[in-house]
Amino acid sequence: MARVGAKNRIKAVWGHRELKNHLATLGFTVNSEVSVISKARGNVVVSVKNARLAISQELANNIMV
């Protein structure tokens, strides 16, 4: 799990094809830079490709940095 405030590069995205396509549409692609802004109540707010997104912890667990 990435630390809050740290900049990371995405190394892999796991899951079935539809999930991986959904994450790619949101900007979560291999070699993209991603930062965790905050974590609360089972959700994670991240910065990816100049956008801030809130995703579930379950979804975030499919993104390896």
> Strand 43-48 relative to strand 51-56: parallel, antiparallel, unpaired?
antiparallel
Torsion of CA 31, 20, 61, 55, to 10 degrees: 90
Q: What integer pLDDT is reported at residue 52 of this predicted model?
A: 97
Q: What integer pLDDT is reported at residue 1 of this predicted model?
A: 66
Question: At a CB cut-off of 8 Å and minimum separation 6, what does 26 contact?
Answer: 48, 53, 55
Give pLDDT tens digits for 2-18.
889 999 999 999 999 99
Give pLDDT tens digits for 26-64.
999 999 999 999 999 999 999 999 999 999 999 999 999
Domain ranges of the chain: 7-64
Q: What integer pLDDT is reported at residue 20 of this predicted model?
A: 97
Q: What integer pLDDT is reported at residue 2 of this predicted model?
A: 83
CATH fold label, 7-64: SH3 type barrels. (2.30.30)
